[in-house]
Every structure is written in structure tokens, then in C-alpha cells.
Amino acid sequence: MKRLTGLLILTLAFAPQLASACSVCMGDPNSNIARGANAAIFLMLGVLAAIFGLLGAFAFTLYRRAKLPLPPHAEFDADGPLPAHDLK
């Protein structure tokens, strides 16, 4: 694996045309490829924001539910909640 990585780095060092930059940096920024790349980047950022937002909302919901009082039918002993068949 190290040999393959070294060979790849050497190939890119001696063949810089293979390691060209993206179309936004080196090409026409108004081309369809550049607009598509920008749209893909913003889509990925939006998906990340949605995932983190949902994760935060879930954590907030768990926090809120943990602070609620126990319902009146829940009984606890020293080991935790009693099973339903032991409540008699």
C-alpha cells in the first residue's frame, strides 16, 4: 500500500496535467460543470445542516422528556421500575 501511494505521488509530481484543479479554479466559472459543482456542494451542505438540525432536535426532545415528572402509574423500587406483573 505504501509503495502504491508513493507511486501515485510520484506520477502526479511528474505529470502535473493529471493533477489539475477543479473547473471553478482553472476553468470557466460560468460553465455548466462549475454551476453543477457549486450546486452539489450547496446540496451537501444543506443535507449536513438538516442532519445536524434533526440530531439537535432529537437531543432537545430527549432532554425535555427527561425533565418531565413521572406519570402517576409508574412505580419504582431500589432496582428501578417494577415489571407490570409485579405491581400488585
Quote the pLDDT of residue 13: 76
> Position 57: which residue type?
A
pLDDT tens-place string over residues 4-58: 888 888 877 777 666 566 665 667 778 888 888 889 999 999 999 999 999 999 9
User: Rounded CA gap, 66 and 38, in Å?
Assistant: 42
Of residues 88 and 10, more confidently modeled: 10
Q: Is 83:74 a contact under the CB 8 Å cutoff? A: no
Tell me the CA distances in angstroms from 42 to 3, 26, 31, 47, one per residue in order.
36, 20, 17, 9
The whole-number average pLDDT for the span 48-76 is 88
The whole-number average pLDDT for the span 69-73 is 73
pTM of the full structure:
0.53
Q: Is the dihedral of CA 37, 42, 43, 49 positive or negative?
A: positive
